[in-house]
Amino acid sequence: MSRVIVVGAAQLGPIQRAHTRQDVLKRLMALMAEAASRSCDVVVFPELALTTFFPRWFEPDITTANHFYETQMPSSVTQPLFDQARRLNIAFCLGYAELTADGHRYNTQVLVGKDAKVIAHYRKIHVPGHEHHEPDRPFQHAERYYFEPSQDGFGVWNALGGRIGMMICNDRRWPETYRVMGLKGVEMILCGYNTPLHYAPDPSQDRLQSFHNSLVMQSGAYQNGTWVVGVAKGGCEEGVDSLGDSAIIAPSGEIMAQAQTTDDELLTYACDLDWCNNYKNTLFDFDRYRRPDMYSSITAQRGVVLD
């Protein structure tokens, strides 16, 4: 039985503040239709795919930003995307800002099956940035003000004929993200991101944004024998330049498809999940080679401790 998933990585160009949900939805539906025309099984959209990246502004009254959040998924506005997915027989993964009924705010991703039914939610665990207004920055990165870190952990779900996991943006920089899912047998990780090219705390890293993006996803794929699908919202959004470089990465760590623009662009690749076994059963046979008794500090401590 074939275990090939044809993946569409649906990169988005900028979403400006003036763009409505309906404006954005038209773009998402166009990319989904293109993915279906290329026989994709699943189409993956970026982090916060329904709005501009609003944590670049600091609103003293956080409730004035409530319109950026979704209180249900699907909503009356996003229902057409679900309807189209069912009609086209294609699954999708979508990032958005979530405001729960009890007032929690999360940076969330949803995985939806070909029948348009929700398979799983993932809420961002490694939330970067700052909690307070930092007026000296050219733009804010106030994710820790607008979103709380999830306590749900890294799930892996039986979906699309394989073991599917999710992560969001900064999660991809942390090796623990991949390893926890790797220990659950993950075969494909879906990741949306918004990454400004300028990093205010250390501008010397600006020129390395593309390199670091590829570095962490390729190494995570290789060291855990899994496909990684990284999808950007890039381009110049509200005066802030963001990285494109969406990519579909094999369990070997090789980039099999990569975006050539920072606009709306669809990458596709037929991903053979059985390729994962070439690494899971050899170099990275966890049961044979891992030494968890030597790794206790990974979970026993948070910051650096000098011996």
Q: Looking at the annotation, which residues are catalytic?
A: 47, 124, 169
Give the Cα-Cα-Cα angle 198, 250, 157 (nearest 5 degrees): 90
Q: From residue 105, give the alpha-carbon distance in Å to each of 77, 121, 130.
A: 20, 14, 15
From residue 154, give the alpha-carbon distance in Å to each of 58, 161, 210.
29, 19, 25
Where b means 16+ CB within 10 Å and e means fewer, 259-296 reads beebebbbbbbebbbebbeebbeeebeeeeeeeeeeee
- Contact assessment for residue 232 and residue 246, using Cβ atoms and an 8 Å cutoff: yes
CB 231 within 8 A of CB 45: yes
For residues 115 and 93, give the distance between their C-alpha atoms in angstroms, rounded to a whole number: 13
What is the rounded distance in angstroms from the CA atom of residue 16 to the CA atom of residue 207? 24
**Distance of CA 285 to CAs 120, 158, 250, Å?**
28, 21, 17
